[in-house]
Amino acid sequence: MSTKVIIGTIVGGFIIFIWQTLSWTMLNIHGSEAKYTENQDSIMNMLSNQIKEDGSYYLPGLPPKASSEEEEKYMSNMTGKPWATISYHKSWNMSMGMNMFRGLLADIVAVWMLMWLLMKIPNLSVQTSIMASLAVGLVGYLTTEYAMTIWFQTNSIPSLIDAIVGWVLCGTWLGWWINKN
C-alpha cells in the first residue's frame, strides 16, 4: 500500500470522524433524535422490572414462530394503536474511549474502501472525487438510516446532513490529495 493511500485514508477517516463528533456535540444536529419525558423514572423502573436482558424490543410484537393466523390477527388488531421501539440496557456503561476508537476505526476503513475506488478512476478530478464520495455517503444513508425511517417513522435528516457534509469534505480532501504531486 502506497504512502499516498495510507495518508489519504487516515486523514480522510479523521475528517469523517471530526465531522461526526461536531455533528453530535457542538452543532447538536442529532438533538432531535431523542426526546425527553418527565416520566422517565417511572418508565425506567417499570422496564427494569419487566425486561430481563439487554436488547432492542419492538412493542407490541409477535412471539417467535407465530403462525400466519396469529400474524394476520396481530396486524388487523394493531391498526391505530400505540407502538414503541426500545433499546434496553440493564447497566449504564459508556466507554467513551473505546466507542470513539471503534468509530474512528470504522471511518478509516470506510475511507480506505472509498480510496480504493477513487484510485481506479483514471484522471480523477476533485469534482469527480467529491461526487463519488457523496455517492458513497448517500448509499450508506439510503440503505441504513433512511430505510429505518421508512419502517420506524423516525427522523433521519440529521444522518442525511452527516452523509452529505462529512463525505463531501472527505471527497474534497481525497480529490486534492490524490492529484497532489
- Place 179 in a pLDDT band, splitting at 50, 70 and 90: very high
Q: What is the crossing angle of helices 157-179 and 3-24, to 10°?
A: 150
Grid cell, residue 145, equals 438510516
Q: What is the pLDDT of residues 67-111, one digit of tens each?
A: 989 988 888 888 889 999 999 999 888 788 999 999 999 999 999
For residue 130, pLDDT over 90 is answered with yes
Q: Residue 12 belongs to what H/E stretch?
A: helix 3-24
Q: What is the pLDDT of residues 22-70, one digit of tens each?
A: 999 999 999 988 889 999 999 999 999 999 999 999 888 888 898 989 9
* Cα separation, 23 vs 28, whole angstroms: 6
How many residues comprise the chain? 181
Could you tell me which residues are beta bridge partners of residue 86? 57
Find out whether 117 and 167 touch, Cβ atoms under 8 Å: no
Reported pTM: 0.85
Q: Which residues lie below 8 Å from residue 114, measured CB to CB, with a gap of 6+? A: 12, 132, 133, 136, 170, 174
The domains of the chain are located at 3-34+92-179
End-to-end CA separation in angstroms for the chain: 17
